[in-house]
């Protein structure tokens, strides 16, 4: 890079780090990042997050005022401060991606525009920090997941689970980009949460058919992920992986161990997973009840229709 390019890179990186400062509320970080880094209008951000334009505008104004009050400079943090600040940047980018990949509310199951914006931010960050394995890991993870966007919905707009997707509809260019970014991250010795999640996604990307998925490897990767970044959501996904690798009863046992967690009490994927395990174990009446519970909890209409259809399959 020439001096001018390097200076522009530092300015952009400083802008990203400041917009994603951990002192700001997470929603404000996402809105500010999309506005000042992504260049989206407040109306575009509001529509992306199913919010109102005044609400988004208020978030952005509050975030800018908080930055001014704190006297923050738009520069790149150095030393020990950088790792913590980078974690916040990656969290915001992945939050934006996930809201596009699995919309939390509304009619649409996916919002590709948000995914594309997050991928663009991830690619910018990877170009500016090419030797950071977690940056590369997040980029790889988003590329893998984005490769499946077209296959996540059927012709009727309904939800199609990973195991039922037509893999011929997966975007192989994005799969190759994901594999490349993951290889670079692993070559740098990366074994953080984003690199591990990318490795999980790569297991699915490499399986030509759902039946060829290496669920035992996925279960082992979830064991490692749980050690690196313990959370109830990781525990839930780990239970799903173990149920696929070792049978539904193993998965049910793991779910029982986290059933009392407050964080999962109103989390639709928990009863949905339990319903799937019970269905596969032949316990149809119990499965029907769990699918109905999950349908009542989700705010996404496409997911609700899918879960009610699964409940009907138990009759």
Question: What is the chain's pLDDT, residue by residue, as a tens digit (315 residues)?
Answer: 444 444 456 787 888 888 888 889 888 988 998 888 878 888 888 877 768 899 999 999 999 999 999 998 777 787 777 777 888 889 889 888 988 887 766 677 788 888 998 999 899 899 988 999 999 999 999 999 999 999 998 888 888 999 999 999 999 999 999 999 999 999 999 999 999 999 999 999 999 999 999 999 999 999 999 999 999 999 999 999 999 999 999 999 999 999 999 888 889 999 999 999 999 999 999 999 999 999 999 988 889 999 999 999 999
- Of 129, 151, 176, the residue that ends a domain is 129
* Residue 79 included in any domain: yes
Domain range spanning residue 239? 228-315
* Residue 186 included in any domain: no
- Please answer whether residues 64 and 35 qualify as being in contact, where contact means their C-beta atoms are separated by less than 8 angstroms: no
- Of 109, 129, 149, the residue that ends a domain is 129
* Residue 251 included in any domain: yes
* Residue 210 included in any domain: no
* Residue 146 included in any domain: no
* Residue 55 included in any domain: yes
* Residue 294 included in any domain: yes
How many folded domains does the chain comprise?
2
- Of 95, 114, 129, the residue that ends a domain is 129
* Residue 106 included in any domain: yes
Q: Which CATH number characterizes residue 297's domain?
A: 1.25.40.10
Q: Which of 119, 103, 121 is nearest to 111 (CA)?
A: 103
Strand partners, 106: 300
Distance between CA 18 and CA 205 in Å, rounded?
34
Reduce the DSSP state of residue 110 to 3 states and report it: coil
Under DSSP, the state recorded for 132 is -
Q: What phi, psi does 212 have (nearest 5°)?
A: -90, 0
pTM for this entry = 0.86
- Residue 66 neighbours by CB distance under 10 Å: 16
């Amino acid at each position: 890079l020439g001096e001018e390019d390097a200076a522009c890179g530092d300015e952009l990186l400083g802008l990203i780090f400041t917009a994603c400062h951990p002192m700001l509320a997470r929603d404000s970080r996402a809105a500010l990042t999309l506005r000042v880094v992504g260049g989206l209008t407040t109306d575009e951000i509001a529509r992306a997050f199913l919010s109102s334009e005044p609400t988004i505008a208020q978030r952005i104004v509050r975030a800018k005022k908080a930055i001014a009050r704190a006297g923050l400079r738009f520069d790149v943090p150095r030393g020990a401060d950088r790792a913590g600040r980078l974690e916040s940047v990656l969290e915001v980018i992945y939050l934006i991606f996930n809201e596009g990949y699995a919309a939390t509310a509304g009619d649409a199951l996916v919002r590709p525009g948000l995914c594309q914006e997050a991928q663009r931010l991830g690619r910018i960050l990877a170009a500016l920090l090419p030797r950071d394995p977690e940056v590369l890991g997040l980029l790889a993870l988003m590329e893998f997941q984005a490769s499946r966007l077209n296959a996540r919905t059927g012709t009727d707009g309904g939800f199609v689970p990973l195991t039922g997707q037509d893999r011929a509809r997966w975007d192989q260019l994005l799969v190759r980009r994901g594999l490349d970014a993951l290889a670079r991250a692993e070559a740098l010795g990366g074994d953080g949460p984003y690199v591990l999640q990318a490795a999980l996604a790569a297991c699915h990307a490499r399986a030509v058919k759902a039946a060829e998925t290496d669920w035992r490897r996925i279960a082992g990767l979830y064991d490692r992920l749980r050690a690196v970044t313990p959370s109830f959501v990781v525990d839930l996904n780990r239970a799903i992986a173990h149920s696929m690798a070792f049978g539904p009863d193993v998965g049910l046992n793991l779910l029982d161990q986290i059933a009392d967690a407050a964080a999962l009490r109103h989390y639709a994927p928990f009863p949905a997973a339990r319903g799937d395990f019970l269905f596969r174990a032949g316990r149809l009446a119990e499965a029907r009840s769990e699918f109905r519970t999950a349908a009542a909890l989700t705010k996404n209409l496409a997911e609700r229709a899918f879960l009610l259809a699964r409940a009907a399959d138990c009759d």
